[in-house]
């Protein structure tokens, strides 16, 4: 049989993500370059990173890849 207990708090999630890209280290106006990608293939990644962190990012095609800026 199981004992039922009250008032035991749920522990915080301790899972840490290993981010491939430096989303959390960026300040507004910072950017980074990713070679051999297109903005079409990376738009969802920027959107998801922004939703998780409460920040905004934009990506533009540049010679040889894309550049991602933090905008807010």
Residue 55: strand, helix, or coil: coil
What pTM value is reported for the model? 0.72
Q: Count H helices, E strands: the chain? A: 1, 3
pLDDT digits (tens, 9 = 90+) for 3-26: 999 999 998 877 776 778 999 899
Local confidence band at 58 (pLDDT 50, 70, 90 cut-offs) = very high
Whether pLDDT at 70 is above 80: yes
Local confidence band at 40 (pLDDT 50, 70, 90 cut-offs) = confident
Give CA–CA dist 21/43, Å, rounded: 14
Select the highest-mean-pLDDT range: 12-16, 27-31, 39-43. 27-31
Give CA–CA dist 51/57, Å, rounded: 10
Adjacency order of strands within the sheet including 57-62 = 31-35, 65-70, 57-62
Domain residue spans of the chain: 31-70
Given the DSSP bridges, would you call strands 31-35 and 57-62 parallel, antiparallel or unpaired?
Answer: unpaired
């Amino acid at each position: 049989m199981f004992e039922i207990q009250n008032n035991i708090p749920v522990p915080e999630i301790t899972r840490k993500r290993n981010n491939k890209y430096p989303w959390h280290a960026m300040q507004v106006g910072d950017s980074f370059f990713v070679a051999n990608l297109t903005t079409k293939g990376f738009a969802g990644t920027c959107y998801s990173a922004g939703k998780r962190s409460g920040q905004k990012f934009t990506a533009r095609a540049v010679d040889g890849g894309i550049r991602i800026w933090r905008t807010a």
